[in-house]
Amino acid sequence: MQIKEIRILPPIAIGRLGASPLPVAAYDLVIPDNKPLDFRQIIPQETLTVDNIQNTVSAHVPDQIVFKDPPESDGYICPVAPFLELFAITSDNPDMLVPLTEELLQQAGLTLDNVSWSVTVGNLKLFRRTGNIKDKIIATVENIKDAYVYKLVGECPNFHDGKTLPLGSVQFIRPSNDFPGLRFRFTPAAGNVYGSSTERIESEGAQATADPVITSDLQVLYDPAKGGWQGYSETAKFNPTYTMPAQIFAGYSTKHGDQVSWGYLDDECDGIVTATLQPADNGLAPLSATAHIVAGPPAFAPDILPIRAVSDELEQIIMGTAPDKEVPIEVAEEIVRRAFESITLMNTAVMNGNPINGRENVASTMVRQDTNDFGRLYEPIMASSIVDNLALRTLHERVFNGLSSGAATWFASALRKPHKIGDLSDTERRKMPGLMRGADGRALTLTHRMINSVIQAASNAMFRTGNTATPPPAPPPPPPVPGQPLKADELIAQLHYRGLGNPYSVLPRTAISNCFPGLEFDFRNLWRHTFQNVTMSENDNYVLNDTTSFNLTGRRLVAVNGQPTMVRGIGPVFPGGDNVHLTTSDNPSGAAFMEWSNLIAGFKLTPGQTVQAQFTAGEATLPVLVTADELSDKVKYPEFTLTVNSYMTPNTAALSPTIVAPGELTHGLCAPWQNDYRECACYYWAASRPDYVNVEPGEDGLSHGDMWLAKRRTGEYVPDNRTDSRLFSYDDLFQDWQGELSFIINGRDAVASPSTSGDGGGQSSDKAAQPGTQVHPNPSLIDK
């Protein structure tokens, strides 16, 4: 018997930050019986505990899932530390992936000594801004064959001599009789904030004073004498080389709107784990497999899932934009369920742009962004009277309940299409998903594949209504069972493989992909290297760098194979007005770039394919609008032949190591990441970052609840305007995000899931009392 190939599952694993010594136990998410739109149930699963002496694992099933230590134990958040499992394809079973064990190695004439692991992770947030290669933070551990714990030590040339950034740890788990499979664990860092000095400048022209966040020299890593991260600035003026949004780093603002960095950095990272199997014959090439790991923030609402997730993007890459067989109605139901979940913890009345306490434009919403970006008339998206949170929940329930009886046809027609993101008319702004922002900065759309799946499921349901002769298509298969073999060609099952001992939140299904900039990933970066030797901006059709002979840097990609990459922005500019072409000083062409994922999928590109790509004739700092008819002018829009890269390692569900470098999938995120919880212009509620919690119906028939970031639970929602003293500030989160932030389970503050023994367990939290009586778990931190 020979081992022909190896794989690491899950191929993408999300670690989540936290300082508690005990990681989150394994759990699954299950839809409650007879309550399909209730919160998903958190069901404890077999959990693995590492024996620090033997370096093996033992198992138990906990009574409940604890996400956060109680206040008397420091209130630290439990990290998510994913296990990665090694699988093999053998000559005896060439169509299956089977767990790689010591016994299987012996059958192939090999031992554990033939297996090695290597890890490289990066934090490139500083480098993404400054462009200085010496600002890259990289940690590498190679040729791991023993079961010691190896620290991921982030090194950076611009750090003070001898200083490093802790980025977590990794460990090969020694196999045992009870758990013979080969597995590898990644434990992320604690979620700390580091800096460049123990002093900072609070405002333009002020003298430096003691920094309330960086209070110890132990936190000072970056050397301002070597690099420019402290004092780095971004102007308020549009710049296509900036991240989008720009200025998403800790610092102070000047009178001209520039943002100046305090020099903070965090311990997030992403990178690649590689397993290598050396054949007995040293003359043969070794076998290898890779998986991508990331360290991101906790899933603070762990019992709901986002409407558009990283797994949706990968499914579209793997399977294309259209289903190749009948789609069961359960697929459409799951999309509606996730849409329902995404608005459950959102104050939809505020996100709609309704006046709050008699004041307009009090929060960062898509209404504000449409006005800022295109000059559209500021007005609520939907009628103000119908967008209360409870009313929209009822609407989603009616849609869900009607899907199997033909209502799916209506739902499919109500979905926003990707090419309509520039249409800011009343009709299009009211399409679904509503009130949320996509990766292009415009109203959110689903992926082509999700839309086409709903359309096909709707069609099937409509024609089957009352027809009992034709059986409906079979429901989707259940998720793969941890530790069991999988078919080698079932890449979607491999993508969703949770693995033994892992909580559900390790999966890409739990990570938002409508990134602007994102939370776990800025997944827009996957498409930067779509074309060989060309690096695009993650958020625009602007060329950041190219190593071709075409001199493309600074130009804009306007079309691929005759199809434009942007659409026209249109909408009204006064009440009751017609839809007109919208322009601003930063966007005089009125162009709306279509997000990379759906754009590239719509082009139907394949790895290795050559395409005809058209660019502006010269550098184009501002967006340009080019129609299909104008592309015939090859002088104004010259055409070049480019080759398409592969996003995935062939025949696997793993990202290609050549498409995205360690640190690249997180380099456009906020710095530090806690900044994103106060920026709040991202609208990908609410799986990772809740908004509207402890919601109850009021006597006025409307919903009432708390803003998640509110210091006190009063039952009165406080819109997030980034300055309200009733909400946790940036500094509060930099200093003690683990003490300040609570998990939301069943829509309410909690530290743990309900106990399976039925006694209520750790579900309760000091915050989770009735509105008006709730207190913060760390009262001493409230009014500092």
pLDDT band at 621; cut points 50, 70, 90 = very high
pLDDT band at 508; cut points 50, 70, 90 = very high
Compute how many other C-beta atoms are within 10 angstroms of the C-beta atom of residue 479.
Answer: 15
The answer to whether the beta carbons of residues 85 and 13 sit under 8 Å apart is no
Q: Of 299, 648, 745, which is closest to residue 507 (Cα–Cα)?
A: 299
Q: Which percentage of the chain shows pLDDT scores above 70?
A: 93
Q: Of 245, 194, 242, 185, which is closest to residue 218 (Cα–Cα)?
A: 194
pLDDT, tens digit, for every residue of 80-137? 999 999 999 999 999 999 999 999 999 999 999 999 999 999 999 999 999 999 999 9
- Chain mean pLDDT for the chain: 92
The answer to whether the beta carbons of residues 20 and 77 sit under 8 Å apart is yes
pLDDT, tens digit, for every residue of 29-61? 999 998 899 999 999 999 999 998 999 999 999
Among 23-37, 464-478, 510-524, the least confident range: 464-478
- Segments making up each domain of the chain, as ranges: 3-192+267-305, 530-643, 700-784
Q: Please say if the pLDDT value at position 310 is more than 80.
A: yes
Burial of 438 (0-12, 13-18, 19+ CB in 10 A): buried
629-634-638-641 Cα dihedral, nearest 10 degrees: 90
Q: Please say if the pLDDT value at position 422 is more than 70.
A: yes
CA 593 centroid distance within chain: 21
pLDDT, tens digit, for every residue of 161-220? 999 999 999 999 999 999 999 999 999 999 999 999 999 999 999 999 999 999 999 999
The answer to whether the beta carbons of residues 306 and 342 sit under 8 Å apart is yes
SS (H, E, C) 109-177: CCCHHHEEEEEEEEECHHHHHHCCHHHCEEEEEEEECCCCEEEEEEECCCECCCCCEEEEEEEEECCCC
Burial of 97 (0-12, 13-18, 19+ CB in 10 A): buried
pLDDT band at 775; cut points 50, 70, 90 = very low
Overall pTM > 0.85: yes
Average pLDDT over residues 731-751: 96
Determine the Cα–Cα distance for residues 159 and 533; give it in Å rounded to an integer: 31
Token digits for 700?
Answer: 């006025």
CA 778 centroid distance within chain: 29
Q: Please say if the pLDDT value at position 680 is more than 80.
A: no
pLDDT band at 720; cut points 50, 70, 90 = confident
**Residue-level pLDDT at 509:** 96
**Residue-level pLDDT at 777:** 32
**Residue-level pLDDT at 466:** 58
Average pLDDT over residues 137-162: 98
**Residue-level pLDDT at 770:** 39
Question: Checking DSSP bridges between strand 41-44 and strand 47-50, what pairing results, if any?
Answer: unpaired
pLDDT, tens digit, for every residue of 423-438? 999 999 999 998 999 9
Q: Which percentage of the chain shows pLDDT scores above 90?
A: 80
N-terminal to C-terminal alpha carbon distance within the chain: 67
232-235-241-246 Cα dihedral, nearest 10 degrees: 90
The answer to whether the beta carbons of residues 640 and 606 sit under 8 Å apart is no
pLDDT band at 783; cut points 50, 70, 90 = very low
Determine the Cα–Cα distance for residues 600 and 623; give it in Å rounded to an integer: 19
Q: Please say if the pLDDT value at position 556 is more than 60.
A: yes
pLDDT band at 463; cut points 50, 70, 90 = low
Determine the Cα–Cα distance for residues 739 and 406; give it in Å rounded to an integer: 48
Q: What values do phi and psi take at 425, rounded to 5?
A: -70, 165
Residue 276, H or E segment: strand 269-277
